C-alpha cells in the first residue's frame, strides 16, 4: 500500500485537513503559524536551544508573518511520536533527531549521525554540497515529509558509566541508553540497549534502571545533572561525531507555503545550525571543567575497545545494504566523507596537532 495514500485517507489525516481548512482565513491574510512538536523538554541545553532559535529566527525573518508554535513532549504528542504526528498531518513540523526513526527507515540515521560518521562540518559539507539534502527529501517524501536540518550538537561524548570500561567485554549485559545505529552496534557487543527520551534519563540512571547512558556533551550533560549520579565520563564516542538535528515539515504543508516562507525556513534552519553549534562548542570546555571540579573522572576508551566499536558498527551498517535507498544514501555520504577527510586531515587536523605540540593546550 502507498504510505502517503494511507495517511491521507486516515481519520487523523482527515482531522488535519479540516484543521487546515479552518485556518485558511488567517493564511489568506498572509500570516501562518506552524505547530512544531519536539522531542526535547523545555530548557534542555543544545537541543531545545536549537528548536527555540528556529522559532525566533523564523518570526524575525518573516516580520511575524510566519511563526512557529513550539510544543514540548506531552503538550501535543510524546517525544518519540513526533514523526508520526507530522507525517500524518496532526502537527505541521517536528524538531528532533532523525535517528530516533530508523524503525521507519534506516536511512534516517544519516540525518542525525552514524557510527564513525562525519564531524559537524563534514555533515554540513555533505548535506548542502554533496547531495545529502536531495536524498533527505527523497527519503522524507515516502513519509510525507520535507527534510530540513536545524542544529548540530557537534561531537558527542562516549557517555556516563558507574564503572570504568577496561575491555569490550564490559559492555556485555550493560544496561545502556544509546539510540540509532550506534546503539545497535553496542547491542552486537552484548549491551542491553535502551532508547529512552531525554526527559526520563536522569531518573533512569539514578534509579539503576540504566547502568550508563550517552546524551550529548558537557554543556547539555551538566544541565541534565548526570554528574550527580555517575562519576565516570568518557569524553569521545564512536557513535555521533557530529549529530544533526532535523526540523522536518509535513510535505503537504510545505507545498502549501509561499516560496518566500519556504526560503525563510531554509535560511533560518541553516542559521540555527551555525549559531547553535558555535554556542555549544564554545561552552563545552568550561562545562567540562566544572564537571571535573565536581569529582567527575574523564577517560578515553582504549584502542581495543575502539576496534570492537568499529567491527560492530560495520556489521550493523552492512545489514541494511539490501535496501536500495539506504545503500544510495550511504554511498553518497561516504563519498563526501572521503573527500572531506583527505583535506581536513592534511590541513586542519595536522595544524591542530602542531599547534598543541608547539604551544601546548
The predicted pLDDT at position 19 comes to: 35
Q: What is the pLDDT of residues 278-324, one digit of tens each?
A: 999 999 999 999 999 999 999 999 999 999 999 999 999 999 999 99
- 194: exposed, middle or buried (Cβ count in 10 Å: 0-12, 13-18, 19+): middle
Q: Write down all domains in the chain, each with its CATH number in brackets.
A: 3-152+242-281 (3.40.190.170)
pLDDT at 310: 98
Per-residue pLDDT, averaged over 143-154, amounts to 98
Alpha carbon distance 308, 188 (integer Å): 10
Q: What is the pLDDT of residue 291?
A: 98
174 within 8 A of 265, measured Cβ to Cβ: no
Name the strands in the sheet holding 66-71, side by side, starting at the edge strand that comes first in the sequence.
66-71, 32-38, 93-95, 249-250, 145-146
The rounded mean pLDDT for the chain is 92
pLDDT at residue 101, rounded to an integer: 98
Report DSSP letters for 127-189, one per residue. HHHSSHHHHHHHHHHTTTEE--EEEE--SPP-EEESS---SGGGGTT-EEE--HHHHHHHHHT
Mean pLDDT of the 52-64 span: 98
Check residue 197 and give its pLDDT.
93
All cell numbers assigned to 14: 482527515
Residues pairing with 69 in the sheet? 35
pLDDT of residue 144 exceeding 60: yes
pLDDT of residue 18: 33
pLDDT at 20 (0 to 100): 36
Q: Does the pLDDT value for residue 30 go beyond 90?
A: no
Cα-based distances in Å from 85 to 11, 70, 78, 251, 256:
12, 14, 9, 12, 18
Residues 6+ apart with CB under 8 A from 47: 39, 40, 97, 151, 153, 198, 216, 220, 245
16 has a pLDDT exceeding 60: no
Q: Residue 241 pLDDT > 70, yes or no? A: yes
Query: Above 50 in pLDDT, residue 17?
Result: no
Find the range with the poorest average confidence among 3-17, 75-89, 182-196: 3-17
Task: Report the share of the chain in percent with pLDDT over 70.
Answer: 92
Task: Assess whether pLDDT exceeds 60 at residue 110.
Answer: yes
pLDDT band for 12, please (50, 70, 90 cuts). very low
> In terms of pLDDT, which residue wins out, 353 or 8?
353
pLDDT at 107: 98
Phi, psi of 357 (to 5 degrees): -65, -45
What confidence category does residue 1 fall into, taking pLDDT thresholds of 50, 70 and 90?
very low
How large is the average pLDDT for residues 99-125? 97
pLDDT band at 23 (very low <50, low <70, confident <90, very high): very low
Q: Give the separation between CA 100 and CA 112, rounded to whole angstroms.
A: 9
For residue 3, what are the CA distances in angstroms to 7, 107, 249, 252?
Answer: 6, 17, 17, 14
Tell me the per-residue pLDDT of 255-271, one tens digit each, with 9 for 90 and over: 999 999 999 999 999 99
Nearest CA to 110 out of 82, 92, 94, 133 is that of: 133
Amino acid at each position: 500500500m502507498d504510505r502517503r495514500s494511507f495517511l491521507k485517507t486516515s481519520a487523523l489525516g482527515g482531522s488535519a485537513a479540516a484543521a487546515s481548512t479552518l485556518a485558511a482565513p488567517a493564511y489568506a491574510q498572509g500570516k501562518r503559524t506552524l505547530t512544531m512538536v519536539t522531542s526535547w523538554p523545555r530548557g534542555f541545553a543544545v537541543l531545545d536551544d536549537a528548536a527555540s532559535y528556529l522559532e525566533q529566527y523564523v518570526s524575525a525573518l518573516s516580520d511575524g508573518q510566519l511563526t512557529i508554535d513550539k510544543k514540548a513532549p506531552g503538550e501535543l504528542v510524546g517525544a518519540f511520536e513526533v514523526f508520526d504526528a507530522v507525517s500524518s498531518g496532526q502537527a505541521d513540523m517536528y524538531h528532533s533527531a532523525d535517528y530516533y526513526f530508523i524503525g521507519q527507515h534506516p536511512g534516517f540515521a544519516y540525518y542525525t549521525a552514524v557510527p564513525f560518521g562525519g564531524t559537524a562540518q563534514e555533515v554540513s559539507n555533505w548535506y548542502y554540497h554533496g547531495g545529502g539534502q536531495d536524498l533527505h527529501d527523497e527519503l522524507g517524501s515516502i513519509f510525507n515529509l520535507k527534510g530540513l536540518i536545524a542544529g548540530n550538537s557537534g561531537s558527542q561524548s562516549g557517555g556516563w558509566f558507574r564503572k570504568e570500561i577496561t575491555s569490550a567485554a564490559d559492555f556485555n549485559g550493560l544496561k545502556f541508553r544509546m539510540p540509532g545505529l550506534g546503539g545497535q552496534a553496542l547491542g552486537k557487543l552484548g549491551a542491553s540497549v535502551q532508547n529512552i527520551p531525554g526527559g526520563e534519563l536522569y531518573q533512569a540512571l539514578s534509579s539503576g534502571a540504566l547502568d550508563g547512558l550517552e546524551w550529548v556533551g558537557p554543556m547539555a550533560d551538566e544541565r541534565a545533572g548526570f554528574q550527580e549520579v555517575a562519576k565516570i565520563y568518557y569524553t569521545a564516542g564512536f557513535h555521533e561525531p557530529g549529530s544533526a538535528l532535523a526540523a522536518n515539515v509535513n510535505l503537504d504543508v510545505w507545498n502549501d507555503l509561499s516560496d518566500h516562507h519556504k526560503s525563510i525556513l531554509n535560511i533560518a534552519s541553516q542559521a540555527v545550525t551555525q549559531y547553535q553549534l558555535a554556542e555549544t562548542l564554545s561552552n563545552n570546555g568550561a562545562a567540562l571543567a566544572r564537571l571535573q571540579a565536581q569529582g567527575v573522572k574523564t577517560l578515553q576508551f582504549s584502542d581495543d575497545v575502539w576496534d570492537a566499536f568499529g567491527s560492530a558498527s560495520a556489521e550493523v551498517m552492512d545489514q541494511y545494504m539490501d535496501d536500495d535507498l539506504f545503500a544510495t544514501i550511504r554511498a553518497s555520504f561516504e563519498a563526501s566523507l572521503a573527500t572531506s577527510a583527505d583535506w581536513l586531515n592534511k590541513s586542519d587536523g595536522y595544524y591542530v596537532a602542531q599547534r598543541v605540540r608547539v604551544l601546548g593546550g
